[in-house]
């Protein structure tokens, strides 16, 4: 089956960068189609309820924070979309754990300047706000791009949907709003990008990909009345960095980053990590921490739409600077716009907004306003 998107723009990836690009293009009157491999929008932004279902007032299994003074783009964007944010709770003592055998140490929590901020409703609120402003007929979920071919008039994309049927779509230009490493590992290009470009894509770390987050949910934030901030650092693990994850609406939770490598997490399994994490929270914050009402766990290294074989070990943060993310074969046909390609704050929420806006502005300047908005229907 072939669908035509000639002289149109196709966006691959429905995370924050892809939705930002779509939002800017749509406001400029430029047609687009957006393809997302998952059955939901958001990419690495995932806010869920206690049953692990996407929620408009839940817990962030992906990125949680931004810093308005450091990341003015995301602050401006939140205001533009009518979103509210609140400061990360930091009042009370921070707990430090040297080992399981020694007593925990308590320190006064230092004032963070600038403070970490969180979106009311969770980071997923920015995804919902953007998606609500886009024409639903221009978006298709559950569809993967497997191959990209340059043509005289543009690009031919080969897609695989939920029923495994292969479909061809032609477009004038493609914005790949996904991590360069994931693009290199999952999409075949004809002609193939040059060796140096492929090396750059594969050597760019995908933020969040090696990590796992654990949440313990409670009836109330008991640690606050005990004069703890909910923050902790541990040399014992399995959680190495812990924070208060209570929502703006008062749903109480603690979360921590799991500090053991991905291969070990796979070996021991989720249940063992959950049990060990609850026991550790009990050591840090007392017996009330041993009785969560629910737990949440997200291992991004096991997510094939985030991580590749190269992401199983943490290799640091993406390096933000100006680079050429395409070569002569593809520079007039594709744009890379994953958060990792941002000049400033790559990998962060602000980097995703920057990369998406950069891609959209470039094409707006090149294309000019259009009136027809292509649809992603199979008709």
CATH code for position 297: 3.90.660.10
Q: Is 74 in the same domain as 10? A: no
Q: Containing H/E element for 328?
A: none
Q: Where residue 115 falls among pLDDT bands split at 50, 70, 90? A: confident
Last residue of a domain, one of 302, 319, 334: 302
**83 within some domain:** yes
Contact 233/257 with Cβ under 8 angstroms? Answer: no
Percentages of the chain per state (helix, strand, coil), in multiples of 5: 30, 25, 45
Q: Is 201 in the same domain as 330? A: yes
Q: Is 37 in the same domain as 144? A: yes
Q: Is 135 in the same domain as 32? A: yes
Q: Is 150 in the same domain as 41? A: yes
Q: Where residue 368 falls among pLDDT bands split at 50, 70, 90? A: low
What percent of the chain lies above the pLDDT cut of 90?
A: 84
**176 within some domain:** yes
**373 within some domain:** no
How far is 22 from 18, CA to CA, in rounded Å? 6
* The pLDDT of residue 316 is above 90: no
Question: Would you give the DSSP letter of residue 162?
Answer: T
Q: Is 315 in the same domain as 272? A: no
Tell the burial category of 141 from Cβ atoms under 10 Å away from its Cβ (0-12, 13-18, 19+).
middle
Domain total for the chain? Answer: 2
**141 within some domain:** yes
Bridge partners (DSSP) of residue 254 are 216, 244
CATH number of domain containing 40:
3.50.50.60
How far is 267 from 138, CA to CA, in rounded Å? 41
Q: Is 75 in the same domain as 145? A: no
Q: Is 287 in the same domain as 240? A: yes
Q: Is 80 in the same domain as 216? A: yes
**375 within some domain:** no
Q: Is 178 in the same domain as 215? A: no
* The pLDDT of residue 165 is above 80: yes
Contact 172/9 with Cβ under 8 angstroms? Answer: yes
Q: Nearest CA to 294 among 197, 183, 214? A: 214
How far is 59 from 76, CA to CA, in rounded Å? 23
**378 within some domain:** no
Last residue of a domain, one of 281, 302, 323: 302
Question: What is the pLDDT of the chain when averaged over all its residues?
Answer: 92
Q: Is 194 in the same domain as 145? A: yes
Last residue of a domain, one of 283, 302, 321: 302
Give tens-digit pLDDT for 175-227: 999 999 999 999 999 999 999 999 999 999 999 999 999 999 999 999 999 99
Q: Where residue 6 falls among pLDDT bands split at 50, 70, 90? A: very low
Q: Which residue reads 């594709």 in tokens?
A: 334
Q: Nearest CA to 327 among 185, 150, 71? A: 150
Domain range for 67 is 55-122+210-302
How far is 80 from 76, CA to CA, in rounded Å? 6
How far is 188 from 245, CA to CA, in rounded Å? 40
Reported as half-sphere exposure (CB side, CA atoms, 13 A), residue 190 has a value of 10
**140 within some domain:** yes
Q: Is 335 in the same domain as 355? A: yes
How far is 235 from 238, CA to CA, in rounded Å? 9
Check residue 371 and give its pLDDT.
37
Average pLDDT over residues 312-325: 78
Give tens-digit pLDDT for 280-304: 999 999 999 999 999 999 999 999 9
Check residue 108 and give its pLDDT.
85
**179 within some domain:** yes
3-class secondary-structure state, position 215: strand
């Amino acid at each position: 089956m072939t669908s035509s998107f000639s002289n149109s723009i196709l966006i691959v990836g429905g995370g924050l960068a892809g939705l930002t690009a779509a939002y800017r293009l749509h406001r400029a009157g430029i047609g687009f189609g957006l393809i997302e491999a998952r059955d939901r929008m958001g990419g690495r932004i995932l806010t869920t309820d206690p049953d692990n279902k996407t929620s408009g007032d839940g817990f962030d299994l992906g990125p949680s924070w931004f810093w308005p003074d450091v990341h003015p783009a995301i602050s401006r964007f939140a205001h533009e979309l009518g979103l509210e944010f609140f400061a990360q709770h930091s009042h009370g003592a921070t707990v430090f754990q040297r080992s399981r055998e020694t007593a925990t140490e308590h320190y006064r929590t230092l004032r963070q300047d600038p403070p970490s901020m969180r979106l009311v409703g969770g980071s997923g609120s920015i995804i919902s706000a953007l998606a609500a402003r886009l024409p639903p007929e221009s978006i298709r979920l559950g569809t993967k791009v497997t191959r990209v071919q340059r043509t005289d008039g543009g690009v031919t994309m080969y897609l695989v949907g939920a029923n495994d049927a292969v479909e061809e779509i032609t477009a004038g230009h493609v914005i790949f709003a996904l991590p360069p490493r994931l693009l290199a590992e999952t999409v075949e290009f004809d002609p193939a990008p040059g060796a140096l470009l492929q090396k750059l894509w594969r050597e760019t770390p995908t933020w969040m990909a090696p990590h796992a987050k654990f949440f313990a949910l409670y009836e109330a934030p008991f640690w606050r009345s005990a004069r703890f901030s909910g923050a902790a650092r541990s040399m014992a693990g399995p959680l190495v960095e812990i924070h208060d994850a209570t929502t703006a609406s008062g749903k109480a939770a603690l979360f921590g980053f799991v500090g053991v490598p991905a291969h070990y997490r796979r070996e021991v399994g989720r249940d063992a990590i959950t049990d060990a994490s609850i026991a550790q929270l009990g050591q840090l914050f007392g017996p009330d921490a041993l009785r969560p009402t629910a737990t949440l766990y997200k291992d991004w290294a096991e997510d094939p739409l985030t991580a590749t074989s190269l992401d199983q070990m943490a290799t640091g943060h993406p390096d933000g600077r100006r680079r050429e993310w395409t070569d002569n074969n593809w520079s007039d046909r594709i744009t890379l716009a994953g958060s990792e390609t941002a000049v400033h704050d790559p990998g962060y929420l602000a980097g995703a907004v920057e990369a998406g806006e950069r891609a959209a502005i470039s094409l707006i300047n090149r294309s000019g306003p259009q009136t027809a908005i292509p649809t992603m229907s199979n008709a």
